[in-house]
Amino acid sequence: MAYRGVLKARISKLYGGDVTVEKARKLKSRKEATARDKQLANWFINMQTNRPLKKRKDPVVGTGKKPKGSDRRLYTDENPKDTVPIKFATVADARKTIAKVMKINKPYARKVQILTVLEQRAKVMGKMEQARLAKSAKATLKSKNEKSSPVKKATRKVCLPKAKIARMSPAEKQKVINAKKAAASKGKQVRSSKSFIRDGSTKSKGLRDWVKQDWRQVGNPSKKCGEK
């Protein structure tokens, strides 16, 4: 039986002659044995004694992962109760399937998953119109999901280094505050760059220097940025 040249070279150097199970065991039991020595020795011993190699644990059902050599595939019927039959032999079949998926009472991610299956299988079978319809339906789902997602509450508090605030005029301060309020009302976390006041008063040498600056609330400089 053939074995790896590296193992043969190691055995020949240490013990001479052919590679045997006994010599492989001696090799891996040495104090100086490396992880590679042990790996090669175990491989040879398992092959010679017909002992099965350690089998990797089967991934948890529902994760979409599968062990090497397994017949399981992504999007298989791991949970029959959650299975949604799809048909796409004709364009009409694909339209009916898509309409059913759009109306079905399942999470957004699950709907996208089903449509992805339809799209991929249709492509493999050369049914490009069905694949196009599935892709278009996914885009529609994504758009609806984004619109229905709750708008994140953005803080209306704006902070700048104390030294910078001291050099700003009341009009400049108000300009920054208004820009932050406008951004917050739209759910944005950052105000428009057009409201930046660039006077060179807070130029820093790097991130560490920038963080060390005394950040205060523009609307009330007596309060630090993190205070309520």
90-127 per-position pLDDT tens digit:
999 999 999 999 998 888 888 998 999 899 999 989 99
Return the domain boundaries, the chain.
Answer: 5-49, 85-148, 159-217
Instruction: Name all contacts of 174-178 with Cβ < 8 Å and 24+ positions apart.
Output: 176/218, 177/218, 177/219
Confidence of residue 207 (pLDDT cuts 50, 70, 90): low
Average pLDDT over every residue of 139-150: 81
Please determine, for residue 129, whether its predicted confidence score (pLDDT) is greater than 90.
yes
Please determine, for residue 184, whether its predicted confidence score (pLDDT) is greater than 50.
yes
10-41 per-position pLDDT tens digit:
888 888 888 888 888 888 898 888 888 888 88
pLDDT of residue 189: 62
Pick the more confident residue, 5 or 88.
Answer: 88
